[in-house]
Amino acid sequence: MLIHLMQHGACLSKELDPHQPLSPVGREQVTKSALAARALGLRFQLVAASPKVRSLQTAEIVAKHTGYPASRIEVTEAVKAMAPTRNTLEFIREYEGLDSIFIAGHQPSLGSLASAILTGGQHLDIAVENSGLMQLDWNIPSGKGVLNWCLTPAQLAEIAC
């Protein structure tokens, strides 16, 4: 299964808006990343987001540009910022058999998830930048994962042009 991880785009501060939606810069970042995903030919059988507004907005923008119906975005606590990695892995296992999924989430959980998939449980410090995109190939039955690529927002913006 190909697992695509993106941390939500840059968001407004809590002082400006306690719900912390995407900022104008964040919307632009995510849009460029989504256009790059489309240019790379990425298509998803599942798009998931946390209940946080910025995560859902990120998922909606990616869905729009990659042809995934926004009405089918799976909103789940399993990809919240402090969600236990085992909960996120269990969530993904529920979709075993799909070829490609996208998760719009938060740090530190995205880094912990990538670490668990790549090492089978050991800890690596992995950062997923705002609007950056990482592709992992996870063989669920064997538990083995491979990092296919990790692109920064600047690299994705170049691809989107």
In this structure, what CATH number is given to the domain that contains residue 92? 3.40.50.1240
Which tens digit of pLDDT belongs to each residue from 138-152? Answer: 999 999 999 999 999
Q: What pLDDT shows up at residue 120?
A: 85
Which tens digit of pLDDT belongs to each residue from 57-71? Answer: 999 999 999 999 999
Give the mean model confidence (pLDDT) for residues 18-45: 96
- Percent of the chain past pLDDT 70, that is, above it, reads 100
Question: Domain span at residue 33?
Answer: 2-160
Q: How many domains does the chain have?
A: 1
**Inter-helix orientation angle 24-39/53-66, to 10°:** 30
Report the 10 Å Cβ neighbour count for 146. 11
Q: What pLDDT shows up at residue 55?
A: 97
Instruction: Count Cβ atoms within 10 A of the Cβ of residue 28 and give its class: 0-12 exposed, 13-18 middle, 19 or more buried.
Output: middle
User: Is the pLDDT at 128 greater than 90, yes or no?
Assistant: no
User: Is the pLDDT at 106 greater than 90, yes or no?
Assistant: yes
Q: What pLDDT shows up at residue 14?
A: 86
Give the mean model confidence (pLDDT) for residues 84-97: 96
User: Is the pLDDT at 121 greater than 80, yes or no?
Assistant: no
User: Is the pLDDT at 75 greater than 90, yes or no?
Assistant: yes
Mean pLDDT over each residue of the chain, to the nearest integer: 95
Closest to 92 (Cα-Cα) out of 70, 117, 73? 117
User: Is the pLDDT at 113 greater than 90, yes or no?
Assistant: yes
Q: Taking the model in full, what pTM does it have?
A: 0.95
